Amino acid sequence: MKTRTKIIATSVIVIAIAGIGVTVKNKNDASKNKILQVMMKSEPVTMNPIMTTDIYSEQVQDQVYEGLYRYEKNKIVPAMAGNVVKPTKNGTVYTFKIRDNARWSNGDRVTANDFMTAIQKTADPKTKSQASADAISVIKNYDLVHSGKLSPDKIGVTAPDKQTVVVTLSQPTPWFDQLATTIIPVNTKKYQEWGQKYGTASKYTVTNGAYTMSNWTGTNTSFSLIKNSQYWHEKHAKINEIHTRVIKTPMTAAGEFKNKHLDIAQLSDEYIASYKRNKDYRAVPQAVVRGIYFNETSSKTNNEHLRQAFGYMINRDEIANHVMKDGSIAQSNAVPSGVMVNPNTGSDFNHDAGTQFKVNKKKAQAEWATYQKEIGHKSVTLNMTFDDDTTSKAVGAYIQYAAEQLFNGLTINMAYEPHGQVVSEVLKQNFDMVNMGLSVDVADAAFPLAIGQTGYGLNFSKVSDSTYDGLLKAANDQVTDASQRYKTLQAANKYFTQTKAYMIPIYQPMNASVVSDKIGGFKANAFHSAAYQDMYWKN
């Protein structure tokens, strides 16, 4: 199973690559020996799709794993399933036939049991999976299994034979085809053999996608992706090897691309402005909203007035346009722009939602004073955690300065940490305030809003609000009434981001890259990374 939480990191790394000379006989041989040089902004944490909680692990998993379906640009196409199927029994039962030639990288056949194992283990509370339940929460009995009231084998997935997976949903779900792209199998035999080691290093990883992972220890900052000779669509992948490095500094990334040490580089900060009119530039808004979350299990931060104070204090336009300067969109809603439209008018969800918080320093100070009175302290020290990439540091410093200047008695201790460490500490509730975001794969507002649902795997703040849960449940029950469901989701968004301010949205990031003119087939959108298997060498 894949997950959808995105957090970004950066510290200064300067790497030079020595040129590699290759003697070839012809053009085709030359292409076979070319190595695609790419980068990531932070390290992946795990290659176990059941346990994934971060964007960087997900970015690699997009290249090495394959679900029932996959995206080819903006179109959903068959992947492990031989064809895109039509549901039966009033849209609640999907019967997938796994390809005869679907193989794991070690040669094992990909079986229906591998999908059943992944779904059952993700739902099983004993696994303690923090992976997103987006894809499987709509499966029959998921809630009862995840709460421990039913055994995992009672969830609505069966494998009547080695090639057939039958998924039964709790109700018709029009967007299930999109969810099926994120239902990733695990190799059952290896999962049982390796246990908790599964996906912790390349030697404990088997893949079913276009590439395998090589030379990854679980903590190192460079590794390779090698074309998977066992992949069912192996001939489609034209690039044989990809070398990936973690580069956390925008200046280094831009310099490496300029010096032709990178074929694809991710840009941020002022370097986006430098390349914006360049023919090599590619940019799409990410389907994620990054904001401030509060630890709702702590009496110090579980306070509506504290959250409201920061809601009125933060100047989103100033941050997006003058602090970040990378095309990111100022955002005051939990739902990313471009994710959902009004079923009657076609207008974007955020256009209809409007601005939840406008900067109002007097209201911010009044809320802060009420917070001080409620906790009984005039001097307050709060810890705020951001990733350690350059952009996050700039945003964090801006918020720290603005808050300490506006709120009497406030001291903020900033912590800028590597991405994996941020995730680890958040999962342990070891934070006061943290900057993070939830990415989504489905064009529907219910998925980003689920981050505040009681018991949801990615509810890192541990929000538990029966009113909010009721709104989300109502939206789920209204799946066949698009207009009413849209109104309910609008109400949920307002309640979450304004009425209770459980999340203080700040911006929707831009996924900006520069791509060498030697590379063709680079295709990305807000919901998924550009797939290396779709790329090719132009010369």
Instruction: State pLDDT tens for residues 365-375.
Output: 999 999 999 99
Question: Does 17 have pLDDT greater than 60?
Answer: no
Query: What mean pLDDT is predicted for residues 513-525?
Result: 92
pLDDT of residue 10: 33
pLDDT of residue 521: 94
Q: At residue 451, what is the residue type?
A: I
Question: Does 3 have pLDDT greater than 70?
Answer: no
Q: Tokens for 522, please give them.
A: 């680079």
Confidence bin at 30 (pLDDT 50/70/90): low
Question: Does 2 have pLDDT greater than 70?
Answer: no
Question: Does 517 have pLDDT greater than 80?
Answer: yes
Q: Tokens for 205, please give them.
A: 């990883």
pLDDT of residue 31: 67
pLDDT of residue 6: 41
CA dihedral 100, 103, 108, 113 (to 10 degrees): -70
Percentage of the chain beyond pLDDT 70 is 93
pLDDT of residue 185: 97
Query: What mean pLDDT is predicted for residues 394-412?
Result: 97
Whole-prediction pTM value? 0.83
What is the full DSSP assignment across 431-444? -SEEEEEEE-SSSS
Question: Does 508 have pLDDT greater than 90?
Answer: yes
Q: 55 — alpha (psi -120 to 50), left (phi > 0) or beta?
A: alpha
Q: Which residues does residue 71 pair with via DSSP β-bridges, in sequence order?
A: 76
pLDDT of residue 519: 96
Q: At residue 512, what is the residue type?
A: A
pLDDT of residue 383: 97
The answer to whether 208 and 47 have CB atoms below 8 angstroms apart is no
| Per-residue model confidence as pLDDT tens digits over 118-150 | 999 999 999 988 665 667 889 999 989 999 999
The whole-angstrom separation of Cα 258 and Cα 523 is 21
Percentage of the chain beyond pLDDT 90 is 74
**Alpha helices, DSSP H only, in 160-303?**
176-180, 188-194, 250-258, 270-275
- Indicate the average pLDDT of the chain: 90
pLDDT of residue 67: 96
Which has more pLDDT, 390 or 487?
Answer: 487
How many other C-beta atoms are found inside a 10 Å radius of the C-beta of residue 342? 16
Which has more pLDDT, 311 or 74?
Answer: 311
Question: For 495-516, what is the HEC assignment?
Answer: HHHHHCCCEEEEEECEEEEEEC
Q: Which one-letter DSSP state was computed for residue 265?
A: E
| Per-residue model confidence as pLDDT tens digits over 415-449 | 999 887 898 898 889 999 999 988 887 889 999 99
Q: Which residues does residue 98 pair with via DSSP β-bridges, in sequence order?
A: 81
Question: Does 9 have pLDDT greater than 70?
Answer: no
| Per-residue model confidence as pLDDT tens digits over 332-352 | 999 999 999 999 999 999 999
**CB-based burial of residue 440 (10 Å sphere; 0-12 exposed, 13-18 middle, 19+ buried)?**
buried
pLDDT of residue 20: 33
